[in-house]
């Protein structure tokens, strides 16, 4: 499936041409809005004839649909995803309110040892992934091939190196999530400061919007994460004073310290530590074997 996905995307890469772009001569002449050719997602086919392209896409798309269906069915046949039972749901609720006895925990541990490694839940990320995998394959055939780009991500499957990279990010996903929430709170605080004291520095002509607190926060997030905040956010020409410049300096320097330096280093540190843990586990498993 992955090889066929690459073949389809390579075909699109060498044949797709936009019906219209800003490089098209005269496309913006005598118009006050955006021409339809600029927003039409359907590509214009070059290199191949339209008929040959359609035949190639339908043949490869049909094969892709069939193989994706086989992958989806084989997942169900091999793993037997099970629906959540009422008993397990009641037990899960009981665990949140009552403390289990040690004997019960030992019995549960013994039962878990006998559960097959192929056992999977119906409502799980893996089941959802394969369902989306099949759905987007069908959608790619019906939508000029756009959705086939998703299937290139399947290269991660059965690739130990790439799986380790993804696992390094997802294993401590909860920690990264909370760091992200903290980052959004800090961005909100800086957006509020900008809304209260620095609205004159947000020029809508340069895509710096601060008419509402929401707009200020989104603007700070966009330019703060990319790193352009220090270049685009400047005092207005009517208030070029040292006092105003001092406020801007404090705003920029503190933002650089808390977000760019401390915040990003915390995220990188979590990911690097996870890489180290995975490497140690791999070395330990090799030593034990």
Q: 17 in a domain, yes or no? A: yes
Question: Does residue 219 sit in the same domain as residue 150?
Answer: no
Model pTM score: 0.66
Q: Which contiguous run of DSSP H or E holds residue 66?
A: helix 50-79
Each residue's pLDDT tens digit, 167-201: 777 777 788 888 889 989 999 999 999 899 888 88
Q: 109 in a domain, yes or no? A: no
Question: Does residue 132 sit in the same domain as residue 200?
Answer: no
Question: Does residue 142 sit in the same domain as residue 206?
Answer: no
Q: 103 in a domain, yes or no? A: no
Question: Does residue 227 sit in the same domain as residue 150?
Answer: no
- Render the burial of 219-243: b for 16+ CB within 10 Å, e for the rest: bbbebbeeeebbeebebeeeeeeee
Question: Does residue 152 sit in the same domain as residue 210?
Answer: no
Query: What is the C-alpha to C-alpha distance for residues 168 and 273, in angstroms, rounded to an integer?
Result: 9
Question: Does residue 191 sit in the same domain as residue 74?
Answer: no
Q: 199 in a domain, yes or no? A: yes
pLDDT tens per residue, the chain (289 residues)? 888 999 999 998 888 888 777 777 777 777 777 777 777 788 888 888 888 888 988 999 999 999 999 988 888 877 766 665 555 555 555 555 555 445 555 555 544 444 444 455 666 777 888 888 899 999 988 888 888 888 888 888 877 778 777 877 777 778 888 888 998 999 999 999 989 988 888 888 888 888 999 999 999 998 888 877 777 777 777 877 888 888 888 888 898 888 888 888 888 888 888 878 777 777 777 776 6
Question: Does residue 55 sit in the same domain as residue 148?
Answer: yes
Q: 12 in a domain, yes or no? A: yes
- Domain count across the chain: 2
Structural domain harbouring 196? 174-288
């Amino acid at each position: 499936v992955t090889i066929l996905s690459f073949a389809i995307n390579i075909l699109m890469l060498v044949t797709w041409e936009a019906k219209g772009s800003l490089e098209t001569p005269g496309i913006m002449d005598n118009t006050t809005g955006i021409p339809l050719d600029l927003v039409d997602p359907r590509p214009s086919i070059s290199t191949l004839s339209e008929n040959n392209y359609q035949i190639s896409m339908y043949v490869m798309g049909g094969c892709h649909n069939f193989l994706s269906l086989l992958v989806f069915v084989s997942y169900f046949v091999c793993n037997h995803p099970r629906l959540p039972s009422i008993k397990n749901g009641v037990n899960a609720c009981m665990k949140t309110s009552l403390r289990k006895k040690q004997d019960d925990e030992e019995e549960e541990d013994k039962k878990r040892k006998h559960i097959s490694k192929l056992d999977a839940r119906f409502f799980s990320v893996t089941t959802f992934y394969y369902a989306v995998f099949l759905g987007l394959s069908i959608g790619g055939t019906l939508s000029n091939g756009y959705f086939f780009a998703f299937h290139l991500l399947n290269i991660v499957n059965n690739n130990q190196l790439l799986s380790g990279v993804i696992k390094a990010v997802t294993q401590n996903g909860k920690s990264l999530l909370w760091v992200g929430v903290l980052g959004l709170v800090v961005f909100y605080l800086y957006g509020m400061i900008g809304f209260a004291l620095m609205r004159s520095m947000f020029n809508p002509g340069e895509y710096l919007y601060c008419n509402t607190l929401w707009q200020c926060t989104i603007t700070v997030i966009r330019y703060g994460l990319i790193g352009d905040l220090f270049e685009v956010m400047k005092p207005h020409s009517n208030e070029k004073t040292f006092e105003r410049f001092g406020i801007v300096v404090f705003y920029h320097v503190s933002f650089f310290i808390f977000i760019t330096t401390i915040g990003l280093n915390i995220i990188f540190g979590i990911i690097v530590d996870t890489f180290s843990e995975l490497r140690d586990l791999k070395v330990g498993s090799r030593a034990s074997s």
